[in-house]
């Protein structure tokens, strides 16, 4: 990334509960997104990826709150902004593409009505005819077949792929500067997933929007992203350029994720790597490195004390390349992959 970031997140922490029952599922997360850049956030389910996106928009679930950190978008402090400022940003300058479009779309309103309502909210100067035209254009941009029919349809009358394209059209019709895509291909079959990924890249090129792409599938990050942020147990454990991180990972967790997917071309291994165990509970994070209990590197080095005593990441969560006391090199990478 060059120049000033469009989005800057530093030391972000999200909490639920109070007193002894407090949990912090997002804890010290930091990353940046440049103009026209696609940044992937990857990690296992429950690592805090989606909560991070919701915190950016001020849309945390009931009981959730931002406990620390800063969020800056286009030079504006979002955490210090009032509800009216956030409402004006949502859907206009920052848009969310949800993982479950069927649940996100209003089941009792036609798709066209939902698109026009968003336009009326954010661009009230448009006439009714102009809103209809913009809605149709958005559906065409999302490559929805027969957009006129989709405009008149209820969400349940559309297939899963068409619902997802309708949700993308809803997000892009106001031409936002930033799209937040929260696992937008999870519920779709492989062929539709590939089409949606190509569509997101096309929209970035056409509209100039930056994209934060959240996924649990690290292989899709390789396809469309410029940079990648790897999260584990509510923290960023590694980040950098896609080619650098996915070719030569320095954190054992990143290496384990890469080892769990079949290689493209060549002879596949007899058995893919698995990450044994489960991530720790957000209400009882262990001290030091949170990946230690599942880390082959930690075991091969004789369980060094550093791993259990201190967090190896950066103070702001953003300058970390690999949050590991003993980052991998070429030789140790082969060791953890055996």
Q: For residue 212, how many C-alpha atoms fall within 13 Å in the half-sphere facing its CB?
A: 29
CA 59 distance to own-chain centroid: 15
CB 238 within 8 A of CB 251: yes
CB 155 within 8 A of CB 166: yes
Q: For residue 73, how many C-alpha atoms fall within 13 Å in the half-sphere facing its CB?
A: 24
pLDDT tens-digit series, residues 130-147: 999 999 998 988 888 899
- What distance, in Å, lies between the first and last C-alpha atoms of the chain? 34
pLDDT at 39: 97
Q: Is 302 left (phi over 0), alpha (psi -120 to 50) or beta?
A: left
State how far the Cα of 84 lies from the Cα of 183, in Å rounded to an integer.
Answer: 28
CB 221 within 8 A of CB 40: yes
CB 105 within 8 A of CB 111: yes
**Residue 95 to residues 3, 88, 233, 260, 286, Cα–Cα distance (Å):** 23, 11, 26, 32, 35
pLDDT at 195: 82
pLDDT at 265: 58
State how far the Cα of 240 lies from the Cα of 307, in Å rounded to an integer.
Answer: 22
Beta strand pairing call for 23-33 and 210-215: unpaired
The label of the residue with tokens 């649990």 reads: 216
H or E stretch including 199? helix 190-207
* Radius of gyration, CA atoms only, the chain: 21
What residue spans define the domains of the chain?
A: 103-175
**What letter would DSSP give residue 58?**
T
CB 286 within 8 A of CB 293: yes
How would you write the pLDDT of the chain (338 residues) with one tens digit per residue?
667 899 999 999 999 998 888 999 999 999 999 999 999 999 998 899 999 999 999 999 999 999 999 999 999 999 988 888 888 888 889 999 888 887 789 999 999 999 999 999 888 999 999 999 999 998 988 888 899 999 999 999 998 888 988 988 898 888 899 999 998 877 677 777 888 888 888 888 988 999 999 998 888 898 899 999 999 999 999 999 999 999 999 999 999 999 887 765 556 566 667 788 889 999 889 999 999 999 999 989 999 999 999 988 877 777 778 999 999 986 666 655 55
Its pTM stands at 0.90
pLDDT tens-digit series, residues 221-271: 988 999 999 999 999 999 999 999 999 999 999 999 998 877 655 565 666
**What letter would DSSP give residue 293?**
G
3-state secondary structure of 29: strand
């Amino acid at each position: 990334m060059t120049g000033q970031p469009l989005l800057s997140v530093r030391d972000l922490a999200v909490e639920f509960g109070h007193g002894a029952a407090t949990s912090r599922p997002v804890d010290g997360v930091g990353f940046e997104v440049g103009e026209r850049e696609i940044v992937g956030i990857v990690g296992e389910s429950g690592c805090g990826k989606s909560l991070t996106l919701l915190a950016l928009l001020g849309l945390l679930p009931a009981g959730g709150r931002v406990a620390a950190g800063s969020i800056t978008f286009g030079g504006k402090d979002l955490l210090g902004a009032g509800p009216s400022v956030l409402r004006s940003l949502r859907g206009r300058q920052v848009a969310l593409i949800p993982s479950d479009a069927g649940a996100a779309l209003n089941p009792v309103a036609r798709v066209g009505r939902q698109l026009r309502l968003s336009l009326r909210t954010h661009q009230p100067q448009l006439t009714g005819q102009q809103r209809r035209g913009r809605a149709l254009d958005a559906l065409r941009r999302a490559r929805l077949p027969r957009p006129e029919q989709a405009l008149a349809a209820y969400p349940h009358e559309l297939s899963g792929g068409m619902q997802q394209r309708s949700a993308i059209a809803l997000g892009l019709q106001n031409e936002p500067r930033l799209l937040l895509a929260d696992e937008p291909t999870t519920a779709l079959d492989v062929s539709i997933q590939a089409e949606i990924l190509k569509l997101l890249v096309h929209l970035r090129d056409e509209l100039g929007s930056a994209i934060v792409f959240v996924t649990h599938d690290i292989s899709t990050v390789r396809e469309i992203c410029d940079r990648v942020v790897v999260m584990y147990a509510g923290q960023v454990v590694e980040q950098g350029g896609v080619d650098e991180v996915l070719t030569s990972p320095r954190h054992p967790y990143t290496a384990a994720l890469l080892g769990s997917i079949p290689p493209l071309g060549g002879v596949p291994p007899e058995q893919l790597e698995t990450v044994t165990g489960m991530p720790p509970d957000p209400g009882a994070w262990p001290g030091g490195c949170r990946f230690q209990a599942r880390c082959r590197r930690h075991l091969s080095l004789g369980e060094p004390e550093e791993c259990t005593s201190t967090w190896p990441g950066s103070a702001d969560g953003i300058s970390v390349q690999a949050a590991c006391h003993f980052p991998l090199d070429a030789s140790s990478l082969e060791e953890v992959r055996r």
